[in-house]
Structure 1
Amino acid sequence: MLKILVVEDNPHKLNKIVDSIKSNDIEVQIDICRSFTSGWNEIKDNHFDLICLDMSLPTFDESETESGGRLRIFGGKELAKKMKRKKIEAKYIFITHYKSFSDNHKTYTFEELKSELLNDYKNKCLGVIFYHNKISSWRDELKSHLMEL
Structure 2
Amino acid sequence: MRKVLIIEDDDPKLDQIVEYLTQSSGNFDMTVAKSLNSACRQIDDNAFDVVLLDMSIPTFDGGKTANATGRQRTYGGKDFLTYMWEMENETPVIVVTQYNDFPGEDGALDMTQLHAQLDGEFPDVYKGHVYFEHNSDAWKSKLDRMLGVC
Establish whether TM, by shorter chain, passes 0.5.
yes
* Helix, strand or coil at the partner of 2:118: helix
Given that 1:4 and 1:31 are in contact with CA atoms closer than 8 Å, whether structure 2 keeps it comes out as yes
Given that 2:56 and 2:74 are in contact with CA atoms closer than 8 Å, whether structure 1 keeps it comes out as yes
Instruction: In structure 1, list runs of 5 or more residues that go unmatched.
Output: none
Q: Is 1:25 matched up with 2:25? A: yes
Deviation for aligned residue 1:30: 0.2
Q: Percent identity?
A: 29
Residue correspondence of structure 1 range 1-149 to structure 2 within 5 A = 1-65=1-65, 67=67, 68-149=69-150
Counterpart of 1:52, as a letter, is: L
Deviation for aligned residue 1:66: 5.2
* Helix, strand or coil at the partner of 2:83: helix
Mapped partners of 1:2, 1:135: distance in 2: 25
* Helix, strand or coil at the partner of 1:83: helix
Given that 1:6 and 1:51 are in contact with CA atoms closer than 8 Å, whether structure 2 keeps it comes out as yes
Counterpart of 1:84, as a letter, is: W
Distance 1:66 1:91, change over 3 A: farther
Deviation for aligned residue 1:123: 2.0
Instruction: In structure 2, list runs of 5 or more residues that go unmatched.
Output: none
4+ residue runs over 6 A deviation: none
Name the TM-score, length of structure 1 as normaliser: 0.94
Mapped partners of 1:134, 1:27: distance in 2: 25
Deviation by residue 1:10-43 (Cα, 9 ceiling, x = unmatched): 0000011111222221221100011111111111
Name the TM-score, length of structure 2 as normaliser: 0.93
Mapped partners of 1:81, 1:106: distance in 2: 20
Deviation for aligned residue 1:102: 1.2
Deviation for aligned residue 1:106: 3.4
Mapped partners of 2:18, 2:47: distance in 1: 19
Given that 1:21 and 1:143 are in contact with CA atoms closer than 8 Å, whether structure 2 keeps it comes out as no
Distance 1:29 1:66, change over 3 A: farther
* Helix, strand or coil at the partner of 2:145: helix
Deviation for aligned residue 1:110: 1.3
